Structure 1
């Protein structure tokens, strides 16, 4: 079977698809990734083959400007954000659509898989050539973008003889029941974290003398006032009897200034490399980070960033495995106390491990391969 995997050129979109792509390859199927050429190093790092469907591309420019190149204002509400994100991915589809249609026509895949944001070009190309297509969620809290995609892509849909956005033949949902998934009429698939390959730090391979706390807030979180405020947060958490690992972008580390002796400024780290060596994670609520921590059975302190899946974060908080600290309530002492509570309460660690076991009960990507084989064979 030949399978075309379509993704936008962004790590949070592509990484959730990699385990399924590996499972398909391990089962003897031919997998090809379609994405703009600027994403080639990431696809190559995942050990997968790629067909570029656009040249170099800056996702920030695509999402932040309209078709005429005018700068767009930042959305004020969650509803506006969903609409804006959908229109942004439609503009990405405008660039990649015709090359994707041509690729599907020439390579003739038996199945097309697209992630749940930049799926439009894959969906249209599959419909044009009569190939079944599958939508794969990228984590909990997927925004509803289909309506905005259809509205923005109305000229392209009409050009290809379509009156609406093609509906997927199958939806794979990697959000486990405790976090609100899988959605009705979807097929569950286990979330398996993937991170770019590389050297695992020496400290992550050794048991810690004290609890090891990972802080990974992406880049700078505006709601905590940037690097000076982050440094204050770290100093407060470092007052606990812990070893604190700060995993932020490499260029941000110098801006943190002098740090306490029990703080490791690790720079950027692949979560799959370091989470098994940690006992607690503090992060901004990104779906991939949240799911990777849950997969490894870690208690979590989440300071939700803008646009993060609040409903799913609160479902996890209700299990006891997660503590949410709203940005408006965030102070150095509040963050320190949240970490202390999770570390001192054995019941919280047990609930985090129960969440890990819950995720493990979902069908693995390898099991889902059989479902995809049946779908392709039926067509």
Structure 2
């Protein structure tokens, strides 16, 4: 069967679609992912076939005539849309295909397939859960990661280095190596880095998370869900919807860096969510259901 996936120009949203795309491909279906010209290389990096919708109609995938035109040409039997690409529904209707929504950590609860486990959703009526498979794009395992860590490891992920000072003060007392992938030149002047903080050129989550005992981040929703998938307690320095739900489940907290010393106390909650996710049907197990949706 032909299956068309509609991806908005967001790596995080695309990455939520990829495990399902690959499950469909390995089940023998013809799968294509449609996106804007500026996003085609990102789609290709997933190993999937990309459809360049071009930018001629001046709109995004919320209302894309180009997506409908391609669907009318290719005639897919199923159109899978990210919640931020509702044009997929219009494309499905245009060719009388099955329309499917796939929700992720950036979306509000609703009907469709959902990669966020039920315990982290509020009133997700009509949602059919599917196991979250963390995907962050192609990565290379860095050389330093091929050596066994000598102590516990905490992944630090900050897109903005401004709060480095308070974070460093908070993690200095942790009995762990705190790993941060950043350029040392980004650290604000006058900030002293404690001995247990290690700066590296790259720390791809797909490679690093299985070696960690906890995560500190600044609100990255995909990293937050990946962390609980690995059973890792987390501290989010920024308030987000998924962060608040993880905190409510006892798997982490949203708050200031000073709470880093409490990470170990949230391990039980994180492991409970991990077990819940592991018990959900994998993408390959819901392919048949998706095609009947």
TM-score w.r.t. the length of structure 1 is: 0.70
**Aligned in 2, Cα 1:108/1:182: closer, same or farther, shift over 3 Å?**
farther
Q: CA deviation at 1:279?
A: 1.0
Q: Distance in 1 between matches of 2:202 and 2:2?
A: 35
| Residues 140 and 92 of structure 1, relative CA distance in 2, 3 Å threshold | closer
Distance in 1 of aligned mates of 2:78 and 2:204: 30
1:103-252 aligned within 5 A: 103-119=70-86, 121-139=87-105, 141-142=107-108, 171-180=112-121, 183-217=124-158, 219-220=159-160, 227-248=161-182
- Distance of aligned partners of 1:7 and 1:129 in 2 relative to their CA distance in 1, 3 Å threshold: same
Q: Which has the larger radius of gyration?
A: 1
- Contact 2:8/2:61 (<8 A) preserved: no
Residue 143 of structure 1, CA deviation: 7.9
> Given that residues 4 and 32 in structure 1 are in contact (C-alpha distance below 8 angstroms), is that contact kept between their aligned partners in structure 2?
yes
The structure with the largest strand share of the pair is 2
Deviations 1:302-354 (A, max 9, x none): 1224xx21xx43332233321221xxxx3xxxx24x222223x4xx3233222
Alignment partners' CA distance in 2, 1:46 and 1:236: 37
Whether the aligned pair in 2 keeps the contact of 1:298 and 1:353 (CA below 8 Å) is: yes
In the alignment, the residues of structure 1 paired with residue 123 and residue 288 of structure 2 have an alpha-carbon distance, to the nearest angstrom, of 19
Match of 1:64 in 2: none
Alpha-carbon displacement from aligned partner over 1:253-280 (angstroms, at most 9, x marks no partner): 4221563333222345432121111111
1:341 is aligned to 262
Q: 1: CA distance between counterparts of 2:274 and 2:130?
A: 14
Equivalenced residue count is: 290
Aligned mate of 1:314, from 225, 244, 251 = 244
Match for residue 364 of structure 1?
Answer: 282
Question: Please, which runs of 5 or more residues in structure 2 have no aligned partner?
Answer: none
- 1:212-238: CA deviation from partner (whole Å, max 9, x where unpaired): 111113x22xxxxxx343244224313
More helix by share: 1
Do the aligned partners of 1:173 and 1:181 also contact (CA within 8 Å) in 2? no
Partner of 2:64: 97
Q: Which runs of structure 2 are paired with 1:278-357 in the superposition (5 Å)?
A: 278-305=212-239, 308-309=240-241, 312-325=242-255, 330=256, 335-336=257-258, 338-343=259-264, 345=265, 348-357=266-275
- Root-mean-square deviation over aligned CA pairs: 2.5
SS at match of 1:298: coil
Structure 1 gap segments, 5+ residues each: 58-66, 68-90, 145-169, 221-226
Equivalent position SS for 2:112: strand
